[in-house]
Amino acid sequence: MEFKGNEAYFLTPTNKYGLSKVEPKNITEDNFTYLTRLTINWEEMVYGELSGEGGIVVKNGMHCGLMAFRDHADDTFIRGCIWAIGPDGNPMLVDKCIEIKEGHDAVFELSFTHIKSEKKIITGDRGHYEEGIYDGDIVDYSTSWFWVGCCNALDSCDENHRNHLLGDVELVGIFGKALEKKEIEDIFKTNRCLPEHQPVGFFDFQKQTPYKVYDESKNGNNLVKFDNAWFDNV
Tell me the domain boundaries of the chain. 2-228
d(CA 39, CA 44): 13
Q: What pLDDT, on a 0 to 100 scale, did the predictor assign at position 228?
A: 77
pLDDT of residue 231: 57
Residue 205 is predicted with a pLDDT of 96
Instruction: Per-residue pLDDT tens, the chain, 234 aa: give them.
Output: 999 999 999 999 998 888 899 999 989 999 999 999 999 999 999 999 999 999 999 999 999 999 999 999 999 999 999 999 999 999 999 999 999 987 678 999 999 999 999 999 999 999 999 999 999 999 999 999 999 999 999 999 999 999 999 999 999 999 999 999 999 999 999 999 999 999 999 999 999 999 999 999 999 999 999 997 665 554
Helix, strand, coil fractions of the chain, as percent rounded to 5 = 15, 40, 45
* pLDDT on residue 136: 94
At the topology level of CATH, where does 2-228 sit? Jelly Rolls (2.60.120)
> CB-hemisphere CA count at 13 Å for 103?
3
Q: pLDDT value at position 123? A: 98
Nearest CA to 79 among 62, 101, 55, 59?
A: 55
What is the C-alpha separation between 49 and 171, in angstroms, rounded?
A: 27
Indicate the pTM of the whole model. 0.95
Distance CA 118, CA 228 (A): 40
| Predicted pLDDT at 232 | 53
Q: How far is CA 176 from the centre of its chain?
A: 13
The predicted pLDDT at position 23 comes to 93
